Chains A and B, each alone.
Chain A
Amino acid sequence: MTQLPKTTPWSPDDVIAVLRDLAQAEDLPAHLATDAIKPEDTVDTLGIDSLGGAFLIERFEEMTGTLMPDDFLDLSDNIAVIAERLTALTQKAG
């Protein structure tokens, strides 16, 4: 599993690394383990549904030690936006 310091600002690459981990763990579509993923890709255009999104949030909470707000993730969010939100949350929590 990807390990990131809680206080590190999140980059799109960090989020992509989490997606790849979860794909390898078979919680997210297998193709995400190797596909080219861009910061502007949205969650739904990666083939992730709301249940997959729940596993994604679970991993973010585990890595940041911070509870994600209920409206943290929308399937139309892109990777860059998620990274910005995670940075803001961890800075607030830190």
Chain B
Amino acid sequence: MQLSWPEIFTFVGKSLPEGRRVRSTALSDYALSIADMLRAHGVARGDRVALWITEGPTQIGAIFGCWLAGASFCVLPSFAGRTKTDRSQDRVRGVLATLQPKLLLQGDGLALPETLTGAFKTLELPGIDTITPSGTPPVDVLAQMSPDDLAFVQFTSGSTGGNARGAEVRFRQLLANLDALAARTRMTPADRMVSWAPMYHDMGLMAVLLPMRVGAELVLIETDHFVRRPAAWLEAISKYKGTVSTAPPTALKLLARRKAADIDLASWRYAWIGGEAVFPKVLEDFSAAYASAGLGEDVLHPTYGMAETVVGISCGVPGTRWQEMGGVVSCGPVLDGMGVAILDAQDAAVADGHEGRVMVRGPSVISGYLGLARHPENAWFETGDAGIMQDGLLYITGRLKDVLKRGAESYPATLVETIAEEALGLRTGRIAAFANLRADIGKEEIVLLVESRDWSEENARVVSVAVMAELGLQIDVVRNAQGGRLPRTSSGKLMRQLTASQYREGLI
């Protein structure tokens, strides 16, 4: 059980637009010093440590410092920074109450959100420059850990109020997934990963840990730097000759239009595209935009996965191009060691080419959520997605769970509905929030359908502003059901998926 240090890490951010190269020996020394600080603050083997740190050497040092101290970590989700309302504060408190961190690590110079201030013992980490390099070889960061130890906790989009769901990822699950991904993507020490994905997201963590499984280099870009200047991502691939990178399709869509100039992408051999629905149009537009910059036709690989499987379930084979079936892209063959079954409503397996519920099992499936019931080992896990297997390739055709996605961030539909209903003074169950997959514009459109007899066009703005203020989420479409009723069960429960289906068919 080991991770391999590359010789160099490169960090890019707003304050480091030209990039800063840090030797592994220095980062290892820094992680060891953080481990010492953790122990001095009472952190012991088996404890959990919360991280509120931006992407950079401090965050990587903190992650490895936790493991060196025998502790697990949790990069707090972005919503921990959004605490304008009582409900959003409750959501953060729910996460902290579930996580029960022994210590909260704060990035140097980074302000703590109000809800995190004083909630737990906090340690503001000094920057890496405060450490005097020892010149000794990098340490084995997993030396204190065993396969069944908790590696990290990742809170999922379903975490609301007192229902915080923190996926527990143990080292045996983490390493099984990293090995399967390394094998599928053919990662070697000669590769160089470039990532800007935040590490509270499974894709972001994978982008940091996958290269270290094989000793490949990492170029890590601050997420906020990418948000303010998206071209910085492709410029980094060009400048550092990145070979592997990861991004949600929204990033491709944005950069197909806001083109990065004077770049060479010929070194890029594998792009892990996921985190939200992937549409053919987005892949085609991006490929066309950067073909002249040397982007190969077989570089973009739509993938499928989730925090409950560490990150990956399926992804494309290098050297092959993604396939399209009825406007849906293939997410490659299932990873070695993982099993996928497509079941109908009666739990019977469907034939190839037929749509059903996607079930997954294998060595990377988590054993449960923190503080909640265990998931039996090797039992099938319901992904909440619909899909099709065809010719050995997995196609994800829709989402059955009540989750909305935008830019790879997930939001519970029920929470969005509650905020909107309160904003309009409506009773519970009078608004349905759902995703409308728009292959024509390459977008997962977020729709709120309102059942109200007292509707005015201004209500759309009222709802949008309320959701934006509380969740930072842009709502694309707010419509009134125009006198119609949203479909409900006989007991009065909103049938969200049926509402979405009827909306798509123009029946509402």
Chain B, Cβ-Cβ closest to A48? B474
* Contact A50–B460 (Cβ < 8 Å): no
Q: Which label, helix, strand, loop or mixed, suits the secondary structure of the A interface?
A: helix
Stretch in B200-208, B225-233, B349-357 touching the partner = B225-233
| From A28, A30, A58, A70, contact of B228 by CB (8 A) | A70
> Within the complex, which residue of A47, A57, A61, A70 is in contact with B464, where a contact is CB–CB below 8 Å?
A47
A62 to B468 alpha-carbon distance, docked (Å): 27
Task: Determine whether the beta carbon of A31 is less than 8 Å from that of B478.
Answer: yes
Q: Select from chain A the residue with minimum beta-carbon distance to B438.
A: A26
- List B contacts of A49 (CB < 8 A): 406, 468, 472-474
A65 to B48, CA, bound (A): 50
**Interface pair A44/B469, CB less than 8 Å apart:** yes
CA distance A77 to B475 in the complex (A): 19
Residues from chain B with Cβ under 8 Å of A47 in the complex: 461, 464-465, 467-468, 474-475
Instruction: Please state if B472 and A26 are interface contacts (CB–CB under 8 Å).
Output: no
Contact residues of B: prevailing secondary structure? mixed
Q: Does B407 contact A (CB under 8 A)?
A: yes
- Would B441 and A29 count as touching, CB distance under 8 A? no
> Complex Cα distance A50/B407, Å?
10
- Say yes or no: is A45 at the interface (Cβ < 8 Å to chain B): yes
Flag if B258 contacts A29 (CB, 8 Å).
no
CB–CB B461/A31 < 8 A: yes
Given contacts A54-B227, A61-B258, contact A30 B468 (CB under 8 A): no
Provide the residues of chain A in CB contact with B229, threshold 8 Å: 70
Chain B residues whose CB sits within 8 angstroms of the CB of A9 once the complex forms? none
Say yes or no for B185: interface residue by CB 8 A criterion.
no
- Tell me if B401 counts as interface (CB < 8 A to partner A): no
Residues of A with C-beta under 8 A to B160: none
Provided the pairs A55-B254, A58-B258 are in contact, do residues A35 and B460 lie with their beta carbons within 8 angstroms? yes
Could you give 23 example pairs across A and B, Cβ below 8 Å? A26-B443, A26-B445, A26-B476, A28-B474, A29-B460, A29-B477, A31-B460, A31-B464, A35-B461, A44-B465, A47-B461, A47-B464, A47-B467, A47-B474, A49-B468, A49-B472, A52-B474, A54-B258, A58-B254, A58-B257, A70-B14, A70-B225, A71-B228
Chain A contacts to B: CB under 8 angstroms: 26, 28-31, 34-35, 44-52, 54-55, 57-58, 61-62, 70-71
B contact residues vs A (CB 8 Å cutoff): 14, 225, 227-230, 250, 254, 257-258, 406-407, 438, 441, 443, 445, 457-458, 460-461, 464-465, 467-469, 472-478
